[in-house]
Structure 1
């Protein structure tokens, strides 16, 4: 089994959460999201991000507005809907529960270990 394959699957599993967290801070432009995700070592390409943004929009978790740009065509800025904010809160709770559970497992002793 290749470590890289597992790492890719783990990133895919939390990418939606990270995107929603970025957008929760305020209007977000896709290019800025890509830059932030890349700097956080969540390696993402446009071909991954745009379909995910479309899926989140179709699920009524995101909305967007077009804004004029000083350099080029208008830009699409994403925001969370009320439903998106509720969904993100649930994801945050799930993340905390999972992080706690993984921490317990990583730092606990196996049954029968009396060290």
Structure 2
């Protein structure tokens, strides 16, 4: 299980990535996150993030009819959202490299002293 504090800074970028693939709605985003290993992220966590992303202009929304019930709010990435996703991924790669440098390539110098 990924601690919520670790997820806090990355979840918006992950949601942007999912939306970048196709127009989608909140429950479907939740399902896709679970398929990728984000097990305990509820829709109650996702919807406030979607609202914040929409208010900041990173995603747009449109309502569509659903054959299974009420209309659904579908989200798509705006141009600003595509730029934000690109920046998120570049930052993520930099963080990933720094962590790998420390944990993978940096040896176990301090761990052997414990």
Normalising by structure 1, report the TM-score: 0.86
Give the Cα–Cα distance (whole angstroms) in 1 for the partners of residues 28 and 100 of structure 2: 32
| 2:70 is the alignment partner of 1:73 | yes
| 2:29 is the alignment partner of 1:49 | no
Q: Structure 1: 5+ residue runs without aligned partners?
A: none
| 2:96 is the alignment partner of 1:96 | no
Aligned-CA RMSD value? 1.7
- Give how far 1:40 is off: 2.2
Partner SS, residue 99 of structure 1 = helix
Kindly indicate which of the two structures has a greater share of residues assigned to strand.
2
Count of residues in correspondence between the two structures:
107
- Give how far 1:67 is off: 0.9
Give the Cα–Cα distance (whole angstroms) in 2 for the partners of residues 92 and 10 of structure 1: 16
Give the Cα–Cα distance (whole angstroms) in 2 for the partners of residues 9 and 79 of structure 1: 26
Matches within 5 A, 1:27-42: 27-42=23-38
Partner SS, residue 44 of structure 1 = coil
Q: Structure 2: 5+ residue runs without aligned partners?
A: none
